[in-house]
């Protein structure tokens, strides 16, 4: 590596891997793309491992062939172009930890995680396991947000299954209470929104929940402005949080476009929240949009979108984005205690009836 150049970062290596994947033939192209995504979660900088003479195969997604390729890049340190929009404005884990490391006390205000999935839809862990993982992190609560019936590909649940899930959550909460714990599992759902902002579940069923997250899962590649779609969703009285608003996925989908200042302004006016989906492949809202949301003064919700107990660690991505965007902690739902959070939802439900 030329002495005048800084070492390649994981972010730059992720981009080089993605670019190589565009030119490679199967199955190598898939290995490049997979490693590019995995690079977002590398716990150490690859250049640091190389400097210490350690094997880069310590890094997830890197085998002997890719190790040789990455070492060559590190030694040559090529100029890396700015990523295209489909891979732009994504943090790596090392960046996230650097951001949080400068304000170590800031994250202590976190009280819970407001998006995750269980075996009731497309998750791999039970509600009990998710609760144990949340309590181990020192949370006051988690929200179980399994998919609703309109998203069959993700095992979405219907009204009857949601009622049965309520019984299981009540049993978990009672077990926790009996053991002397104040931790609580909140009843929620990731309800599927149509492009017109309509929900796919009975309103009476949704009204029984502690909090409702609404997300778009269809028509996510439209090029036209989608401001009206977002306005309709936020104005839907059944919805409290607008989840992964843009719908982007790293190196797969750009997501939707809108007059975001207007969207966040509507959310602020209605006292609704917009989400930072902390899943590394999503990171939605991105930093630029979060700054607009902060300016508009709307509430922010942070959820890992975890599909297993081990993925609750993804919360770091959302916390770092909120900190970097200078979001007022008083506007972050997850910094509310359980009672304060539920009071906010109660006030939204009252305003719906008035």
Q: What is the DSSP string of 81-116?
A: PPPPGGG-S---HHHHHHHHHTSTTGGGG--EE--B
Task: Read off the pLDDT of each residue in 124-133 and give the average, rounded to a whole number.
Answer: 98
Q: What is the pLDDT of residue 353?
A: 61
Among the CATH numbers 3.20.20.140, 3.40.50.1820, 2.10.109.10, 3.40.980.10, which is that of 103-353?
Answer: 3.20.20.140
Q: How far is residue 54's CA from residue 58's CA, in Å, rounded to a whole number?
A: 8
Given a cut of 50, whether residue 3 has pLDDT beyond it is no
Q: What is the pTM of this model?
A: 0.96
Task: Read off the pLDDT of each residue in 329-348 and give the average, rounded to a whole number.
Answer: 97
Task: Read off the pLDDT of each residue in 281-306 and give the average, rounded to a whole number.
Answer: 97
Residue in the block written with tokens 């297993």: 308
Mean pLDDT rounded to a whole number for the chain:
96
C-alpha distances in Å from residue 98, one per residue of 24, 108, 118, 178:
33, 16, 31, 40
Q: How far is residue 273's CA from residue 130's CA, in Å, rounded to a whole number?
A: 23
User: CATH 1.10.150.110 in the chain, residues?
Assistant: 10-83
Task: Read off the pLDDT of each residue in 41-56 and give the average, rounded to a whole number.
Answer: 97
Given a cut of 60, whether residue 302 has pLDDT beyond it is yes
Q: How far is residue 121's CA from residue 131's CA, in Å, rounded to a whole number?
A: 16
User: CATH 3.20.20.140 in the chain, residues?
Assistant: 103-353
Contacts of 271 (CB under 8 A, 6+ apart): 299, 344, 347, 348, 351
Per-residue pLDDT band at 321 (split at 50, 70, 90): very high
241 strand-pairing partners: 213, 273
Selection from 202, 190, 219 nearest residue 121 by Cα: 190
Task: Read off the pLDDT of each residue in 136-155 and give the average, rounded to a whole number.
Answer: 96
Give the fold, CATH level 3, of 10-83: DNA polymerase; domain 1 (1.10.150)
């Amino acid at each position: 590596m030329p002495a005048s150049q800084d070492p390649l970062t994981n972010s730059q290596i992720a981009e080089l891997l993605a670019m190589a994947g565009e030119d490679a033939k199967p199955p190598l192209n898939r290995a490049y793309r997979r490693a590019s995504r995995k690079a977002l979660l590398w716990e150490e900088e690859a250049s640091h491992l190389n400097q210490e003479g350690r094997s880069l195969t310590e890094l997830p997604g890197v085998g002997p062939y890719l190790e040789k390729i990455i070492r060559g890049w590190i030694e040559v340190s090529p100029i890396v172009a700015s990523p295209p929009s489909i891979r732009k404005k994504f943090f790596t884990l090392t960046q996230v930890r650097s951001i949080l490391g400068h304000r170590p006390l800031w994250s202590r205000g976190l009280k819970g995680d407001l998006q995750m999935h269980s075996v009731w839809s497309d998750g791999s862990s039970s509600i009990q396991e998710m609760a144990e993982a949340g309590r181990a992190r020192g949370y006051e609560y988690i929200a179980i947000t399994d998919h609703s019936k309109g998203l069959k590909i993700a095992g979405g649940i219907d009204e009857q299954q949601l009622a049965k899930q309520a019984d299981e959550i009540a049993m978990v909460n009672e077990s926790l209470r009996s053991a002397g714990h104040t931790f609580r599992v909140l009843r929620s759902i990731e309800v599927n929104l149509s492009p017109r902002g309509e929900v796919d579940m009975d309103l009476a069923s949704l009204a029984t929940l502690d909090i409702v997250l609404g997300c778009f899962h269809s028509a996510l590649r439209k090029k036209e402005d989608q401001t009206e779609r977002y306005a309709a969703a936020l104005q839907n009285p059944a919805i409290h949080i607008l989840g992964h608003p843009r719908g982007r996925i790293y190196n797969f989908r750009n997501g939707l476009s809108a007059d975001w200042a207007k969207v966040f302004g509507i959310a602020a006016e209605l006292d609704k929240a917009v989400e930072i989906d902390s899943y590394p492949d999503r990171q939605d809202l991105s930093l630029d949009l979060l700054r607009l949301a902060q300016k508009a003064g709307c509430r922010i919700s942070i959820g890992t979108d975890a599909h297993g107990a081990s993925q609750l660690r993804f919360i770091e991505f959302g916390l770092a984005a909120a900190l970097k965007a200078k979001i007022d902690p008083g506007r972050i739902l997850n910094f509310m205690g359980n009672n304060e959070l539920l009071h906010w939802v109660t006030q939204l439900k009252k305003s719906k009836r008035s």
